Chains A and B, each alone.
Chain A
Amino acid sequence: MSDVPTRGPETAGSEPLLKLSGLEQVFDTGKGEVPAVGGVDLEVRPGKVLCLVGESGCGKTTTARAAAGLTKPTGGTVAFRGKDVSRMSSAERLAYRRAVQFIHQDPYAALNPTRTVFSTLTAGLRRHKQVRSKAEAREKAGELLRLVDLTPPESYLDSYPHQLSGGQRQRVNVARSLAMNPELLICDESTSMLDVSIRVSLLNTLGKLRDELDVGFLFITHDLAVAKYFAWDGEIAVMYLGKVVEHGPTPEVIGNPQHPYTKALIGAVCEPDPDLARANRAASELRSADIPSLTALPSGCAFHPRCPAYEPGLCDDAEPPLIRFGGRPAAPGAAGGRRLACHVVSRDHGRSPSDDPAESALGSGSPRGAAWSA
């Protein structure tokens, strides 16, 4: 992984909470090895959001599970506050388990149906001996419910999951993960099963935790609208077949995508505006609709069989490294610059003297790049 740039001085300031270096996860199956994640380098900082986006099977969830310590990666490291998770002492591991919490996708499946909200919320507290009496546990559980806007708490504490709506259940899930005062929340499609207005209110609640409690987020979604909204002050990493293909500050990646895959994803979004939707109809023409199998990855760039910018000889030969894109320094305080894994765009960019050579998929006049370079 010598091509991966270190994110040097410009990222100074806060130390990363979570650092994935060369993370690889190969699953052994009867039909051979499946390289679900093939070398991912990413960081999450306190109070910041890193959003992983991509289609099913791109390795988002596998990456998240490894980051949460739920699986042991087959290569690379997961470091929490600078400490390699696999080399932690048992006390350190306990602290890591407390500091990193996971919120699952399905609010219906993630709660034990035979436990009341109170019992679910305080299980962790009791396990980690954070409360001494039942009264204290109830008080703490009430606080947690208030934190996720389930008020008044008394009307929820003794409910069972089946008495709650999907949105309320997902709030209970979030409250449970907050019981341990986590520093990092890993959300795996945590809002995708919720209705639009309920989704926004949960995202606003999570945003409050991010801004007020400085919780860092590894946020996984296939919904670019959610990614754009929740990770606006953070970063997006676009994954394709186990690798990050584009990574950078959210406004730049969404407003001025560079990788043809990112462009296709953004072009495919259905917008809640008939004029906008119809204007962008022709935006995404892929050469093939089918995702290649992980067990038979294409040569060179894994996206080349589908890529509209494909050039024979260039793209199907060597795998494009994920390298720094765009020469301009990152804005002060921002997490860093952009990275891109595309032979064609990187080459054309190198040739062009201008700062933003590749036309955005959104057509001309995207104000975003200008706003961010200023």
Chain B
Amino acid sequence: MTEPILSVRDLEIAYRTGRKESVTAVTGVDLDLYEGQSLALVGESGCGKTTLGLGLLRLLPGPGRITSGSLVYRLKDGTRADLLTMGKEPLRRFRWNEAAMVFQGAMNAFNPVIRIVDHFADTLRDHSGGKRWTKQAVERRAGELLEAVRLDPDRVLPSFPHELSGGMKQRALIALAIALNPQVLVLDEPTTALDLLTQRQIVQQLHELRRQFGFTMVFITHDLGLAAELADRVATMYAGRIIETGSARDIFHAPKHPYTAGLINAVMPVKDAVPASGATPRLESIPGYPPSLKAMPDGCAFHPRCAFATEECKAAPVALEVLAERPDGMTHAAACLHHDRVRLERKTAGGQAASAEKEPTNV
């Protein structure tokens, strides 16, 4: 393990909402991403995960702006560059060459009036820093990529987006994102809105592509199952902050933030043999709703919904605290004063969490 491929320090992203007003969507994010790892950003709608993902490539839309922090990448040539001070032309070369993004909503990410092959041509020509791409070269490269995601190039390349199914579009979009061999791939909700069997296929292909191309992966999802399936590391976001981070095993077997535990407790495992002997299962939801960015609670933003909240939680924001050192930057850290009281409701297949020690929860 050498130096990280991406170091994010104290990143803050805000959206302007009026002439002098803005809301902060992401605050105080520190993140080190190591080569070949996959990191899942999980959380509910509005927690800032997509904003952070877009921010990693400086792809924020209009009113969004990175207001402070640093985003240092280790480039393919070994040099280090801060994305926030990069000029327009270097930034264009950076995108897709060094880091690429698979946008949310496979259904709408393609231009509907442009054939798939021309999407590849545009991407290859725009981001190659002046390198010439002949029609044949584009078709050859696009063909290789489509075959890597198990699509038939002869069928897909001449098609318009509407002629492809949702799963095919998502796979073509992934192929397009890795067209220039980026080191880092950011995927925003890569399986949302796809059918179960198609989701499974995308998951399997992402595993294969990582093996084949060796990229580092950041994916954004609200689906904890997907995170458990694809991630080496998980970072839970709430109200614009990373509130827990650790290896997938640490997070899913022994979460240390009540919000992470609440999310896991709210999902019914399908294959797991719970509940035993015909008892009716009962899941608990997290009471209340996430806070508005415009009216953030004082202290820990989760305290109004938290069963463990004390006066201390309301007083000051809680910083991430390292709870267990692990190799490869997989350190388990949580931003909770009561992390030692957090338990999962149920037994997990590999975890030690015992339901006997169940803490009282809100009903």
Q: Which of B198, B224, B229, B262 gathers most chain A CB within 10 Å? A: B229
Q: Is A4 an interface residue (CB 8 A)?
A: no
- Our pick among A233, A251, A269 for the contact of B271 (Cβ within 8 Å) is A269
Which residues of chain B have C-beta atoms less than 8 A from A197's C-beta?
Answer: 44, 262-263, 266, 285-286
**Nearest-CB distance from A235 to chain B (Å)?**
14
Let me know if A372 and B278 touch, CB within 8 A. Answer: yes
Q: Cβ of A254: which chain B residues have Cβ within 8 Å of it?
A: 270
Chain B residues with Cβ below 8 Å from A277 are 225, 228-229
Question: Using Cβ atoms and an 8 Å threshold, which residues of chain B touch A290?
Answer: 165
Q: Scoring B residues 181 to 197 as 1 if CB is less than 8 Å from chain A, else 0, what string do you get?
A: 00000000000000111
CB <8 Å contact, B271 and A275: no
Q: How many residues of A contact B (CB 8 A)?
A: 54
- Whether, in the assembled complex, B55 has its beta carbon less than 8 Å from a beta carbon of chain A, the answer is no
User: Is the CB–CB distance between B266 and A200 below 8 Å?
Assistant: yes
B104 at the interface (CB under 8 A from A): no
CB pair A251–B270 under 8 Å, yes or no, is no
- Please tell me if A329 contacts chain B, counting CB pairs below 8 Å: no
Whether the pair A198, B289 counts as a contact (CB closer than 8 A) is yes
Q: Which residues of A contact B197 (CB under 8 A)?
A: 55, 264-265, 268, 284, 286, 289
Whether A200 lies near B285 (C-beta < 8 A) is yes
Q: Is A225 an interface residue (CB 8 A)?
A: yes
Given A56-B195, A367-B277, answer yes or no on A225-B268 (Cβ-Cβ < 8 Å). yes
By a CB distance below 8 angstroms, the chain A residues around B198 are: 55, 289
Residue from the list A275, A362, A366 in contact with B350, Cβ < 8 A: A275
> Nearest residue in A to B198 (C-beta to C-beta)?
A289
Tell me whether B123 is interfacial, beta carbon within 8 Å.
no
Complex CA gap A224/B280 in Å reads 16
Within 8 A of B (CB), among A317-342: none
Is A272 engaged at the interface, CB distance under 8 Å to the other chain? yes
Asked if residues B280 and A273 are in contact (CB atoms below 8 Å), the reply is no
Which residues from A are CB-within-8-Å of B200? 267-268, 270, 284
Q: Does A280 contact B (CB under 8 A)?
A: yes
- CB contact under 8 A between A225 and B44, given known A200-B283, A269-B196, A270-B229: no
Q: Which of A162-170, A308-316, A344-352 contacts B (4 or more CB under 8 A)?
A: A162-170
Beyond A277-B225, A367-B276, is A271–B269 a contact (Cβ under 8 Å)? yes
Stretch at the interface among B5-13, B131-139, B247-255: B247-255
Q: Is B281 an interface residue (CB 8 A)?
A: yes
Partner of B195 from A55, A166, A271, A372 at Cβ < 8 Å: A55
Q: Which of A191-231 contact B (CB under 8 A)?
A: 195-201, 203-204, 222, 224-226, 228-229
A140 to chain B, nearest CB (A): 25
Docked CA distance A131–B274 (Å): 46
A280 to B286, CA, bound (A): 29
Beyond A229-B283, A270-B228, A277-B229, is A224–B270 a contact (Cβ under 8 Å)?
yes
How many A-B contacts at CB < 8 Å in the complex? 152
In the complex, B167 has a CB within 8 A of chain A: yes
- When A204-B285, A276-B349, A289-B198 are in contact, do A270 and B226 touch as well, CB less than 8 Å? yes
Q: Given the complex, which residues of A lie within 8 Å of B263, measured CB to CB?
A: 196-197
Q: Does B128 contact A (CB under 8 A)?
A: no
A278 to B207 CA separation, bound complex (whole angstroms)? 12
Tally chain B residues at the interface, Cβ within 8 Å.
51
When the two chains form their complex, are residues A195 and B44 in contact, meaning their CB atoms are under 8 A apart? yes
Kindly report which residue of chain B lies nearest to residue A226, judged by CB atoms.
B268
Whole-angstrom distance between the Cβ of B50 and the nearest chain A Cβ: 13
Whether A274 sits at the interface, judged by CB under 8 Å, is: yes
State which of A168, A199, A362 has its C-beta within 8 Å of the C-beta of B289: A168
Q: A225-B270, A271-B269 are in contact. Are A232 and B223 (CB under 8 A)?
A: no
Measured between alpha carbons, how far is A366 from B271 in the docked complex, in Å? 10
Question: Is residue A266 contacting chain B, with contact meaning CB distance below 8 A?
Answer: yes
Complex partner residue of A368 from B222, B264, B273, CB under 8 angstroms: B273
* B270 A199 Cβ-Cβ under 8 A: no
Which B residues are in CB contact (< 8 Å) with A275? 249, 253, 348-350
What residues of chain B lie closer than 8 Å to A279, measured between beta carbons?
349
A135 part of interface (Cβ distance < 8 Å)? no
**A55 surroundings in chain B (CB, below 8 A):** 195-198
Chain B residues near A366: list those with CB within 8 A.
273
Is A255 engaged at the interface, CB distance under 8 Å to the other chain? Answer: yes
B262 to chain A, nearest CB (A): 6
Cα–Cα distance between A166 and B248 once the two chains are bound (Å): 29
B104 nearest CB across to chain A (Å): 14
- Alpha-carbon distance between A55 and B252 when the two chains are bound, in angstroms: 28
Residues in B whose Cβ lies below 8 Å from that of A251: 278
A-B contact pairs, 22 of them (CB 8 A): A55-B197, A55-B198, A197-B44, A198-B44, A199-B266, A200-B284, A201-B286, A201-B287, A203-B283, A225-B225, A229-B268, A232-B280, A251-B278, A268-B196, A268-B199, A269-B196, A270-B200, A273-B252, A274-B249, A275-B249, A277-B225, A367-B277
Additional A-B contact list (11), CB under 8 Å, known A195-B45, A272-B224 = A55-B197, A195-B222, A203-B283, A264-B197, A268-B200, A271-B269, A271-B270, A274-B253, A274-B350, A278-B229, A371-B277
Q: Which residues of A line the B interface, CB within 8 A?
A: 55-56, 165-168, 195-201, 203-204, 222, 224-226, 228-229, 232-233, 251, 254-255, 264-281, 284, 286, 289-290, 362, 366-368, 371-372
B residues in contact (CB < 8 Å) with A: 44-45, 165, 167, 195-201, 203-204, 222-229, 248-249, 252-253, 262-264, 266-273, 276-278, 280-281, 283-287, 289, 348-351
Identify the 9 closest CB pairs spanning chains A and B, nearest first: A270-B225, A275-B350, A201-B285, A268-B200, A195-B44, A272-B224, A200-B285, A197-B286, A225-B268
